A and B are shown apart, each in its own frame.
Chain A
Amino acid sequence: MKNILQFQSVTYIYHTVRGELIAAKDVTFSVGEGEFVAVIGPSGCGKTTILSLAAGLLKPSDGTIERSGTFGYMLQKDELFPWRTIEKNIYLPLEVRRQRSPQQRERAVALAEKYGLGDFLKSYPAQLSGGMRQRAALIRTLAADPDLLLLDEPFSALDYQTRLNVCEDVANIIRSEKKTALLITHDISEAISLADRILVLSARPARVLHTHTLDFGGVPPLRRRELPAFSGWFERLWGELNT
Chain B
Amino acid sequence: MKHTAYSKEHARFLIKRRKNLTLVWTLRIGVLALLLGLWELVTACGWVDPFIMSSPSRIAKTIASLYADGSLFYHIGVTLWETLAGFAIAVVLGFAVALLLWWSETVRKVLEPYIVVLNALPKIALGPLIIVWFGTGSEAIVFMTVLVGIIVAILHMLSAFIATDPNKILLMRSLGAGKWQILFKLVLPSSYPALISMLKVSVGMAWIGSIMGEYIVSRAGLGYLIVYGGQVFKLDLVMSATFLLCLLAAGMYALVVLLEKILVKNAER
Contacts and interface: CB of A to CB of B under 8 A. Distances in A.
A75 B181 CA distance: 20
Interface in B142-166: 165
A189 to B, nearest CB: 25
B168 A96 contact: no
Interface stretch (B22-30, B125-133, B184-192): B184-192
Interface in A81-135: 81, 83, 92-93, 95-97, 124
A79 B189 contact: no
Given A57-B174, A73-B174, A92 B167 contact: no
Contacts of A72: 174-175
A77 interface: yes
Given A57-B170, A75-B171, A81 B177 contact: no
Given A75-B167, A79-B168, A83-B192, A57 B185 contact: no
Nearest to B267: A83
Contact of A57 (B173, B190, B192, B267): B173
Contacts of A150: 174
A198 interface: no
B66 interface: no
Contacts of A57: 170, 173-174
A37 interface: no
A171 interface: no
Contacts of B189: 81, 83
Given A93-B175, A96-B176, A81 B186 contact: yes
Interface in A202-223: none
A124 B192 CA distance: 17
A57 B176 CA distance: 9
B172 interface: yes
Contact of A97 (B168, B171, B175): B175
Contacts of B186: 81
A57 B170 CA distance: 8
A139 interface: no
A177 B175 CA distance: 20
Contact of B167 (A77, A96, A144): A77
A55 interface: yes
Given A79-B165, A83-B190, A83-B192, A96 B170 contact: no
A210 B29 CA distance: 78
B193 to A, nearest CB: 10
Task: Point out which of B174, B189, B192 has the most chain A C-beta atoms below 10 A from its C-beta.
Answer: B174
B105 to A, nearest CB: 15
Interface in B208-231: none
Task: Point out which of A57, A72, A96 has the most chain B C-beta atoms below 10 A from its C-beta.
Answer: A96
B174 A79 contact: no
A96 B190 CA distance: 17
Nearest to B172: A96
B165 A55 contact: no
A163 B167 CA distance: 21
B268 to A, nearest CB: 8
Interface in A140-182: 144, 150
Task: Point out which of B170, B175, B186, B189 has the most chain A C-beta atoms below 10 A from its C-beta.
Answer: B175
A144 B175 contact: yes
B212 to A, nearest CB: 38
A67 to B, nearest CB: 13
Contact of A96 (B165, B185, B267, B268): B185
Closest 5 CB pairs of A and B: A73-B174, A96-B175, A96-B177, A79-B171, A93-B175
5 contacts: A73-B175, A79-B165, A81-B185, A81-B186, A144-B175
Given A71-B174, A92-B185, 18 more contacts: A57-B170, A57-B173, A72-B175, A73-B170, A73-B171, A73-B174, A73-B175, A75-B170, A75-B171, A77-B167, A79-B165, A79-B171, A81-B168, A83-B190, A96-B172, A96-B175, A96-B176, A96-B185
